[in-house]
Amino acid sequence: MASQTASYVLVALCFIGIGAKHAAEATQLVPAVFVFGDSTVDVGNNNYLNITKQARANYPKHGVDFSGSTPTGRFSNGYNLADQLAQLLGFPMSPPAYLSLTVKSLISQMYQGLNFASGGSGLADKTGRLGAGDVIPMSLQVEYFSKVVKLMQNLSGSRRTASLLSKSIFIISTGSNDMFEYSLSGGNGDDGEFLLGFVALYKSYVRALYRLGARKFSVVSITPLGCTPSQRALRLSQGGMRGCHGLINILALRSYPMLAASLRDLAGELPGMAYSLSDSFAMVSFIFANPRTNDWSFTELESGCCGSGPFGALGCDETAPLCENRDDHLFWDGNHPTQAASAIAAQTLFAGNRTFVNPVNVRELALL
């Protein structure tokens, strides 16, 4: 499995013009990595929350391709995007989930980074509460980080803390659940107002992290959410038609230029701020348009590997059917990519050209 995934990634890199010479770094490029967001980058915070089973991934068959086939809380068959991007920056995997640490282990770990992400959460405080339970919204993730910063300052002093944070990478991957819930609610009739609020919240959290010492941001924009197995199944059930759910895809597509403009404004306003923004809609659309070559292949683009019902969208649990070769599938379950798919995304974020990541890629951001 591992060697097969690696071969897919390397060919994909060449195919989209990245090149493979930076596929792995021998040493850490930054002192620490801090992760914020939702289930795309959660590595186990939800294991410690009062939430529904669907908002947790600490049971089989999650983690089937992780070390020891252990379900860790990652919504993946193996490593997720946070793990793979951290690995390219020179770390073994994503930093551990914040809620998994004791006071003692927090003090020893916080100088290398922490993961605050929570599956089902979003930019808005209410996002995920009804369907998932007591998830950690971005506001609380930032609050947790502020407590860590205070602890660092008390132990190491303000100057050393500021220096470490200014050199570290802050990964943010959030907003999909806000769009899912807005779309399911019927949209309330004003997509423009929703998107303005969406970007304003995003901007406020980047600004809040900057005030706490963050300077280098890797921001993951919204993918074509309407093409996930869950949204394909929804379209089939509502209208009897196959294909992507167009309305939420339009929202995702419209959000990218607004988010890009917002980050440009912030970088012009905040001294020392730098960022790398992925065009995730373009990245995934590229894979849909080029699923197979002579050297790499996704043979299943519509259905999840783990799940039952139409498009495998009814949930990945102990009883769900599991595909034999996860590397053939773009999607792990109803909403999340496989390890093979997220590896390509991580490589693109890290070393991609301006087609998919701007104004710099994550490797260039780390070296600033």
- State the catalytic residues: 39, 333, 336
Residue 126 backbone class (left: φ over 0; alpha: ψ -120 to 50; beta: rest): alpha
Distance CA(304)–CA(332), nearest Å, equals 5
Contact between 361 and 276 under an 8 Å Cβ cutoff? The reply is yes
Q: Rounded to whole angstroms, how far apart are CA atoms 208 and 228? A: 31
Q: Output helix, strand, coil percentages for the chain, rounded to the nearest 5.
A: 50, 10, 40
The token pair that represents 47 in the structure block: 């294991």
Which two three-digit tokens encode residue 59? 């049971």
Does the CA dihedral 232-236-239-240 come out positive or negative?
A: positive
8 Å CB contact between 246 and 187: no
Tokens 């929570």 -> residue: 118
For 331, the enclosing helix (H) or strand (E) is strand 329-331
Question: From CA 116, how far away is CA 231, in angstroms rounded?
Answer: 27
| Cα–Cα distance measured from residue 246 to residue 226, given in angstroms and rounded to the nearest whole number | 6
Residue environment code for 170-197, b if the CB has 16+ CB neighbours within 10 A, otherwise e: bbbbbbbbbbbbbbeeeeeeeeeebbee
Give the Cα separation of 170 and 175 in Å (integer): 16
Q: Are strands 216-220 and 169-173 parallel, antiparallel or unpaired?
A: parallel
Q: In one letter, which amino acid is 3?
A: S
Residues 49 and 284: their CA atoms lie apart, in Å, by 31
CA distance 169 to 191: 32
Beta bridge pairs of residue 276: 218
Q: Measuring CA to CA, which residue among 127, 123, 67 is closest to residue 255? A: 123
